[in-house]
Amino acid sequence: MLAPPRIFDALRSIGLNLYERKLWVALLARGVSTAGELSQITGVPRSRTYDTMESLAERGFIIIQTARPLKFIAIPPREALERVKKKIEDELKITLDRIDELLKSPTVKELDEMYKRGLKLVEPEELTGALKGKVSVTQQTVNMFKDAKSQINILTTPEGLNDLARAYLGLLKGVKKRGVNIRVASVVNEGCSDAIKALSGVAEVKSINEKEIPITGSFCTVDGKELIFSLTDSQVDPSQHLAIWSRSEHATENVFQPLFEVVWAKSKKVKVG
C-alpha cells in the first residue's frame, strides 16, 4: 500500500479522484518519475496516467519536466496545497466578479422574462421537485422567504425552531419589515428558549400540544402558493436530508394551508420570558 487509508480519505475530501490520489502519493514517494514507472507502481492504466498527471499539474499539485520521456516532479505537499488553494481562490474570484457583472447587466432581465414566459407554459404538477441535502433545502427555503409577499407559515420541530433562529433570523427580519406576516407553530421544549427570544418581534410563535396534535414533521408555505416539506427527521445526516418543494397552489391552498390553520388554532401562544 502506498499510504494509510486515512491519507487517501483526506485527499478524497479535497476533491482528488482515485487515480489522482494514487499517482500523487506515488510521486511524492519518488520525487521524480515517469508515467510508466508511476503506472507500474499504482496500477493506474498508462493511458490514463498521462492525462491524470496533466490534470494534477494544471491544478498546481506537480510540475511536468518536458524531457524525453516526460518526467513528473513532486512539490513539497504543503507548498502544493497552498498553490492549489491560491489557484482555486483566484478562479473563484474571477467567477464571482463575472456573476456580479452579469447580475447588473440587461441580460439578467432578459433571462427573467424568459423564465416568466416559460412558467406560463408549465403545468403546476411539473413545478415540483425533490431536494437532497441540507444545503439544497436551505437554499430553496431562503429563495422562498425572499420572494414572500404576504405570509409565511411554518410548522416545525424543536430542532427546526432552533435552526430557524440560527440560519434564517436576519432574512426573516428583512421580510417582516416588508410587511410579511410570519407564523410559526412548533413543539416547544426547554432548549427552545433562546430561539423563541430571537424570533420575538419577527414571528408569532405558538406551541403545539403534542398530545392533542401528534405531529413530528415540518413544512412551510409561502403566500398560499409555494411549499416545502421534509421527508426526513433532524437525526439524519445533513447530506441525506430529503424534502419536497412544490409551487402547486392546489397542494398549498387545499392541503397544507388548511392543515396549518387547524394546528395554529389548537396551539397556544408562546410567552417570551
> Which tens digits make up the pLDDT trace of 187-219?
888 888 899 899 988 999 999 988 788 877 899
Cell numbers given for 18: 482515485
pTM greater than 0.85: no
Contact at 8 Å (CB) between 52 and 20? yes
Which 3 state secondary structure label does DSSP give 40? helix
Number of Cβ within 10 Å of residue 226's Cβ equals: 21
What are the chain's domains? 5-75 (1.10.10.10), 125-269 (3.30.870.10)
Burial of 141 (C-beta count, 10 Å sphere; 0-12/13-18/19+): buried
Among all chains, which residue has been given the C-alpha cell 433571462? 111
**Distance from the Cα of residue 125 to its chain's centroid:** 24
pLDDT digits (tens, 9 = 90+) for 236-268: 888 888 999 988 888 888 889 999 999 999 898
Write the pLDDT tens digit of every residue in 86-97.
999 999 999 999
In total, the chain counts a number of residues equal to 273
- C-alpha 87/C-alpha 92 separation (Å) is 8
For residues 127-136, average pLDDT: 84
φ, ψ for residue 231, nearest 5 deg: -105, -5
DSSP structural state of residue 235:
T
